[in-house]
Amino acid sequence: MTTQISTGGHFEIGGDLRVARMGFGAMRLPMSRLDGPANDRDTGLKILRRAVELGVDHIDTAAFYYAQDGPAANEMIRAALAPYPDGLVIATKVGPYRGPGEPHPSGTIPASGLRAEVERNLRELGRDHLDLVYLRPGGMETPADESIGERFAVLAALREEGVIRHLGLSHVSAAQLAEAREIAPVAAIQNRFDVTRPQDVELLAVCEREVIAYAPYFPLGGFGIPDDERANAIAARHGATVPQVLLAGLLALSPVMLAIPGTGSPDHLEENLAAADVALTPDDLAELRG
Ligand SMILES: NC(=O)c1ccc[n+]([C@@H]2O[C@H](COP(=O)([O-])OP(=O)(O)OC[C@H]3O[C@@H](n4cnc5c(N)ncnc54)[C@H](OP(=O)(O)O)[C@@H]3O)[C@@H](O)[C@H]2O)c1
């Protein structure tokens, strides 16, 4: 049975890509834990189809999301969803280098290699253009004061050519956002953020002022659901789960906030998407923020 859920309202990425604020992150499809075993590919395909059936129209991926000897996120997205439904926005990111046999990205692709990485995403996803491409300038870490201009300019040129519709930045500082915006418009930010901790205050203020989407990674903590007293209490009051409270809190925090929780579990998918229906009060949100 298809039951359309509430998707927390909508946001127009870059002013023209309309998406439900509750989306889906594909990193956990190949592997649920960063160091874990490969997930089952068929289960992943079912999760993707179910997500779209329930109203998800914004999926975040990357070519370096794959399990060793296991499935890859881009291939699964194409196998499950192509030919793609109208209006499905697929966001990907380039920048990190993951070498053969490496469990995670360990380095950075230089400016000269970014075009090939964009072409790899086009090929793997089976698209003739990409809706949203984030530059994630570093491998695992990016010094906050490092210049990203040379690499961002490569993506800006691809935007001019029509290969990329909108550009984003991931794991960047407010100064790096300002540097990039001198080169081309930035439509979305993807930094690490969960609603229980004050992070990115300055950068989020810029996103709100300039109407730039903020689609954070690790919205559920990244390494297991946090045992947070405040989130536990709010969840009990609302008859909700802690992941639902964390996601509802994220969406309530700012109109530019987009949720892209990842999971390799069909049950967690249903639970997470239903978070858009958890109506937190301003007091709940203040309590959650501490
Ligand atoms: N730009 C970047 O640098 C970067 C970095 C990391 C991720 N990302 C993107 O951001 C997305 C979101 O981040 P994330 O997926 O890493 O988020 P997260 O906050 O770490 O949540 C995912 C983890 O929580 C578990 N989980 C999910 N829903 C759950 C639930 N309802 N109950 C219990 N456990 C649950 C998942 O395992 P199960 O599979 O068991 O549910 C997984 O281990 C990613 O999918 C990816 O697209 C970007």
pLDDT at 290: 86
6 has pLDDT over 70: no
Q: What are the distances in angstroms from CA 267 to CA 68, 189, 289?
A: 25, 28, 27
Question: DSSP string of 168-204?
Answer: EEES--HHHHHHHHTTS---EEE-B--TTS---HHHH
d(CA 62, CA 72): 9
pLDDT band at 141 (very low <50, low <70, confident <90, very high): low
Residue nearest to atom 10 of ligand 1 (CA): 217
pLDDT at 157: 98
pLDDT at 5: 40
pLDDT at 2: 40
d(CA 211, CA 191): 16
Question: DSSP string of 219-262?
Answer: TT-SSS----HHHHHHHHHHT--HHHHHHHHHHHH-TTB-B--B
pLDDT mean over 3-8 = 50
Bridge partner residues of 169 (DSSP): 135, 189
**Which atom of ligand 1 lies nearest, measured to the CA of 241?**
31
Q: Which residues' Cβ are closer than 6 Å to ligand 1?
A: 25-28, 32-33, 60, 93, 136, 170-171, 190, 217-222, 225, 243, 260-265, 268, 271-272
d(CA 257, CA 243): 16
- Quick check: is 65 catalytic? yes
pLDDT at 274: 95
**Which atom of ligand 1 lies nearest, measured to the CA of 222?**
20
Q: Give residue-wise pLDDT tens across range 235-284.
A: 999 999 999 999 999 999 999 999 999 999 999 999 999 998 999 999 99
178 has pLDDT over 60: yes
Residue nearest to atom 20 of ligand 1 (CA): 222
Among candidate residues 83, 96, 60, the one with its CA nearest the CA of residue 259? 60
- Which of residues 72 and 5 earns the better pLDDT score? 72
Query: If you average pLDDT over every residue of the chain, what do you get?
Result: 93
pLDDT at 7: 55
**Which atom of ligand 1 lies nearest, measured to the CA of 191?**
1
Q: Which of 65, 66, 134, 214 is catalytic?
A: 65
Pocket test for ligand 1, best of 22, 24, 28 (most atoms within 8 A of CB): 28
Share of the chain above pLDDT 90, in %: 84
pLDDT band at 100 (very low <50, low <70, confident <90, very high): confident
pLDDT at 104: 86
pLDDT at 84: 98
Bridge partner residues of 257 (DSSP): 214
128: which residues sit within 8 A by CB, 6+ positions away?
122
**Which atom of ligand 1 lies nearest, measured to the CA of 219?**
19
Widest CA span in the chain: 53
Q: How far is the CA of 253 from the centre of ligand 1 (A)?
A: 19
d(CA 114, CA 116): 5
CATH of domain 10-289: 3.20.20.100
Residue nearest to atom 4 of ligand 1 (CA): 217
- Which of residues 34 and 119 earns the better pLDDT score? 119
pLDDT mean over 86-105 = 93
pLDDT band at 51 (very low <50, low <70, confident <90, very high): very high
18 has pLDDT over 60: yes
pLDDT band at 142 (very low <50, low <70, confident <90, very high): low
pLDDT band at 35 (very low <50, low <70, confident <90, very high): confident
pLDDT band at 139 (very low <50, low <70, confident <90, very high): low
140 has pLDDT over 70: no
Q: How far is the CA of 224 from the centre of ligand 1 (A)?
A: 9
3 has pLDDT over 50: no
pLDDT mean over 202-219 = 96
Pocket test for ligand 1, best of 40, 43, 218, 258 (most atoms within 8 A of CB): 218
Pocket test for ligand 1, best of 43, 135, 217 (most atoms within 8 A of CB): 217
d(CA 217, CA 192): 5
Please report, for the chain, the start and end positions of each structural domain, with discontinuous segments joined by +: 10-289
Q: How far is the CA of 269 from the centre of ligand 1 (A)?
A: 11
For tokens 């998800």, the residue is 56
Residue nearest to atom 7 of ligand 1 (CA): 217
